[in-house]
Amino acid sequence: MRVQIIQLAYLIATALFVFALHWMNDPKTARRGVISGVVAMLMAVVGTLVEPGIVNWGWIALALVLGFAVGVPLSRVPLTAVPQRTALSHAFGGLAAGLVGTAEYYLSLQQNVENLTPFRMTAIIAEIILGYLTFTGSLMAAGKLQEIKWIPQRPVTYPLQNVSNLSLLGIAVVCGVALIVQPVALAFLFPVIIVLALAFGILLVIPIGGADMPTVISLLNSYAGLSAVAMGFVLDNKLLVTAGALDGSSGLILSIIMCRAMNRSFTNVLFGAFGQVQAKAVSAEGKTAKSETPEGAAQMMEQSSLVVIVPGYGMAVAQAQHRVRELYDQLSKRGVDVRFAIHPVAGRMPGHMNVLLAEAEIPYDKLVEMDDINHDMPQADVALVIGANDVVNPAARHDRGSPIFGMPIINADKARICYAIKRTMNPGFAGIENELYYAPQTFMLFGDAKAVVGNLVKSLSAQGNTH
Amino acid sequence: MRMLILTSGLAAWIAVAPAVASAQVPAATAESGTDFIQTLFVFMLATFIGLGVVSRVSRLLHTPLMSLTNAISAIAVVGSIVITGLDHPPYITILGAIALFASMTNIVSGFLITDRMLKMFRTRKGGKS
């Protein structure tokens, strides 16, 4: 009877998880999704705790308390650090899967070998390879995002990188197959696979640069989910399989969206080492950019009816979000329609820019997706580019020689006037010259994003007082 | 309306599930291979549901979506509890406890940070998210 009740609890938890994701389709219902997720999780945990045979209460309590102690501070990080936190939690997810797989294998090896059927061995091998590679890969990604000193930020490449990485994974898979056939006689291969998976995770992420982080995080999200699925197969637990599959498919969809937004394939992101190709990108030949003062730009914006702000990660780096909100307030007060154009890969993880702007209390109905805002761009009087670069480069539309050719962009150049805030004319991290800055309707606002937007706000409020 | 259909569908499922489950028990113990195939069915269907539901998630919320699915996949906590809790050799218990710690961290920080982010999404008139 108790078993049936536990299974029923699992069943309801599964349904609640699906609802949790369903409610995320609208910001109005999204918080309900969290509650539903929490209820589901509680049911699953309590359901498991009442399972017969559990004795090590001390260990369980200790792990739960420590998990709480670490989890609460991790949920309070500044929103610019959310990508790191997310990568870190993928690492934890991978670690949990890897450890449970390891424990299950050695337990069966010791206590009942018949348990190691080919099916179950396949699941265990998949679980540990996915789990451990997600663990180290995500730790690397988190380190790169946190800009830890001894982890190189730039893509690290060396000769035969892809060949050696793939052969490493190949060896791990071959060892895995051997172990599936001979789970007892070849037991020494098990730690070998663990080491190979750990090493592969590190080597997979080392060649990937900052701009590709949104894709990599999504992909690791998918792996973390799939390792939970594999755990579900090992433990024959359908709740685990379902929840893991939801996570895995979510990661998959996000990766696809990210790849499309950069017009690149998975293989290109993982094995392409973005930083390299661009060394030979063109430089500006004798073109000059015009500059404008904040006062002039403020005047122009004040007289506009539609201003589109295009934020990029540079805005977050300069901590300019709150100044941008003040600018939004000043302009809206004067009846100017202000909208934000959000490129899918702006920021360091999917949706990052929306969260940063929402934190600055900008209403979410003003945050517009790329495809929708491009429709309105020709009607915009002013496009204000803050800390974005490649995502507004018109070369992506027409210059076949450009490394970003084919990438969908926000058409800031279609607005009547474009202002771009930038520190200097140096090309950005990717090293690509941006045509937009030399277009006849573009004016540069040189300086730190926070200071420049602050000056815009100041001249707007000064003008407001004289009227 | 859609909600109603979903709920009634769910109710029907709950009614049917125990019958299905009890019918399966003898078969499952006899042959572990069919068990795996059944789990594969669950995996496949859950993936389709996941793809369908997630593709409808608002693009505004992709960051909270990722932290929410993170927390959800920390359902690995269930496996970790079983490994830690049952009477096993100490080194197995310790592996389980570390896994349990990792999953618990993900649950707590995942749900809390998701809610923290979602609270920030407001419309103009101070409307709630």
Q: How confident is the model at residue A321 (pLDDT cuts 50, 70, 90)?
A: very high
Nearest to A49 among B67, B81, B110 (CB): B81
Q: Find the angle CA(A98)-CA(A102)-CA(A108) to the nearest 5 degrees.
A: 145
Residues in chain B closer than 8 A to A235 (CB atoms): 78-79, 82
Question: Does residue A10 have a pLDDT over 80?
Answer: yes
Residue B22 has pLDDT above 60, yes or no: no
Chain A residue with Cα closest to B40? A233
What band does B21 get if pLDDT is binned at 50, 70 and 90? very low
Q: What is the 3-state secondary structure (H, E, C) of chain B?
A: CHHHHHHHHHHHHHHHHHHHHHHHHHHHHHCHHHHHHHHHHHHHHHHHHHHHHHHCCCHHHHHHHHHHHHHHHHHHHHHHHHHHHCCCCHHHHHHHHHHHHHHHHHHHHHHHHHHHHHHHCCCCCCCCC
Q: Which residues of A touch B2 (CB under 8 A)?
A: none
From residue A267, alpha-carbon distances to A28, A162, A402, A434 in Å are 37, 11, 20, 26
Determine whether A346 is exposed, middle or buried from the number of CB atoms within 10 Å of its CB (0-12, 13-18, 19+). Answer: buried
Above 50 in pLDDT, residue A66?
yes
Q: What is the side-by-side order of every strand in the sheet holding A306-311? A: A367-369, A337-342, A306-311, A382-386, A417-422, A442-446
Interface test with A, best of B20, B25, B62 (most A CBs within 10 A): B62
Task: Write down the catalytic residue from A381, A390, A399, A448.
Answer: A390
pLDDT attached to residue B4: 47
Q: Look up residue B106 and give its two tokens.
A: 């993900």
**pLDDT value, residue B27:** 39
- Per-residue pLDDT for A306 more than 80? yes
Question: For position A269, what pLDDT does the model report?
Answer: 72
Q: Do B68 and A37 touch (CB under 8 A)?
A: yes
Residue in B73, B107, B124 to test binding to A, most A beta-carbons within 10 Å: B73
Quote the CA–CA distance of A408 and A393 in Å, as a whole number.
Answer: 10
Residue A385: which H helix or E strand, with range? strand A382-386
Residue of A402, A133, A90, A151 lying closest to A270 (CA atoms) = A133
What is the arithmetic mean of pLDDT over A271-296? 64
Closest CA of chain B from A301, distance in Å: 21
User: Distance (Å) from the C-alpha of residue B2 to the closest C-alpha of chain A?
Assistant: 12
Contact B63, B69 (CB under 8 A): no
- Sequence ranges of the domains in chain A: 81-276, 294-466
Asked if the model's pLDDT at residue B129 lies above 70, the reply is no
Cβ-based contacts of A72 with chain B (< 8 Å): 108-109, 112
Express each pLDDT in B66-97 by its tens digit. Answer: 999 999 999 999 999 999 999 999 999 999 99
Average pLDDT of chain B, as a whole number? 80
Question: What is the structure's pLDDT at A430?
Answer: 56
Which pLDDT score is estimated for A152?
Answer: 74
Predicted confidence band of residue A463 (pLDDT cuts 50, 70, 90): confident
Q: How far is A247 from chain B (nearest CA, A)?
A: 5
Both structure tokens of A116: 């190691």
Which of B63, B67, B77, B95 is the mutation pick for testing A, counting most A CBs within 10 A?
B63
Active site residue A390: yes
User: Percent of chain B beyond pLDDT 90?
Assistant: 62
Residue A286 zone, left/alpha/beta (φ > 0; ψ -120 to 50; rest) = left
At residue A236, what are phi and psi to the nearest 5 degrees?
Answer: 50, 55
Angle between helices B77-85 and A57-74 (to 10 degrees): 150
pLDDT mean across residues, chain A: 89
Strand-pairing partners, residue A308, are A339, A383
Residue A430: what are its φ and ψ, rounded to 5°? -75, -15
A294-466 under CATH 3.40.50.1220, yes or no: yes
pLDDT at B1 over 50: no
Quote the pLDDT of residue A406. 87
Higher per-residue pLDDT: A52 or A455: A455
Subunit contact A225:B69, Cβ cutoff 8 A: yes
What local confidence, expressed as pLDDT, does residue A109 receive? 92
The pLDDT tens digits of the residues spanning A118-167 come to 999 999 999 999 999 999 999 999 999 888 877 777 777 777 778 888 89
The nearest CA of chain A is from the CA of B90 a distance in Å of 10
Residues A260-276 have a mean pLDDT of: 70
Closest chain A residue to B117, measured at CA: A355
Per-residue pLDDT, B26: 42
Measured CA to CA, the distance from residue B63 to residue A80 in angstroms comes to: 12
* pLDDT tens-digit map of A161-219: 788 888 999 999 999 999 999 999 999 999 999 999 999 999 988 888 777 888 889 99
Contact A70 B53 (CB under 8 A): no
pLDDT of residue A162: 80
Contacts of A363 in chain B (CB under 8 A): 122-124
Residue B30 is predicted with a pLDDT of 39
Query: Do A7 and B51 count as a contact with CB atoms less than 8 A apart?
Result: no
Distance CA A352, CA A355 (A): 5
All residues of chain A having their beta carbon less than 8 Å from the beta carbon of residue B8 are: none
CA distance linking residue A315 with residue B95, whole number of Å: 43
Residue type, position A463, single letter = Q
The residue among A104, A246, A332, A339 with the most chain B CBs within 10 A of its CB, best to mutate, is A246
- Residues belonging to chain B: 129
Nearest by CB: B75 against A85, A239, A363: A239
pLDDT at residue B10 in the model: 52
Contacts of A8 (CB under 8 A, 6+ apart): B14, B17, B18
Q: What is the pLDDT of residue A347?
A: 85
Pick the residue from chain B with its C-alpha nearest to A5. Answer: B18
Question: Which ipTM value was assigned to this complex?
Answer: 0.90
Proportion of chain B above pLDDT 70, given as a percent: 70
Whole-number Å distance between alpha carbons of A361 and A325: 7
pLDDT tens figures, B43-70: 999 999 999 999 999 999 999 999 999 9
Count of CB atoms situated within 10 Å of the CB of A405: 14
Q: How far apart are CA A449 and CA A319, in angstroms?
A: 8
Which range has highest mean pLDDT (A111-120, A245-254, A255-264, A417-426)? A245-254
Tally of CB atoms within 10 A around A188: 9
- In order of A47, A243, A332, A362, B59, the CA distances from A257 in angstroms are 36, 21, 32, 24, 10
Quote the DSSP letter at residue A272: S
Q: How crowded is the C-beta side of B26, counted as CA atoms within 13 Å? A: 2
Among the partner residues A31, A71, A228, nearest to B129 by beta-carbon distance: A31
- Residue A299's H or E segment, with its range, is helix A294-302
Tell me the per-residue pLDDT of A332-388, one tens digit each, with 9 for 90 and over. 999 999 999 999 988 889 999 999 999 999 999 999 999 999 999 999 999 999 988
Of A274 and A300, more confident: A300
Looking at the partner chain, which of B56, B63, B79 has a beta carbon nearest the beta carbon of A235?
A: B79
Nearest-Cα residue of chain A relative to residue B87: A55
Q: How close, in Å, is residue B29 to chain A by CA atoms?
A: 12
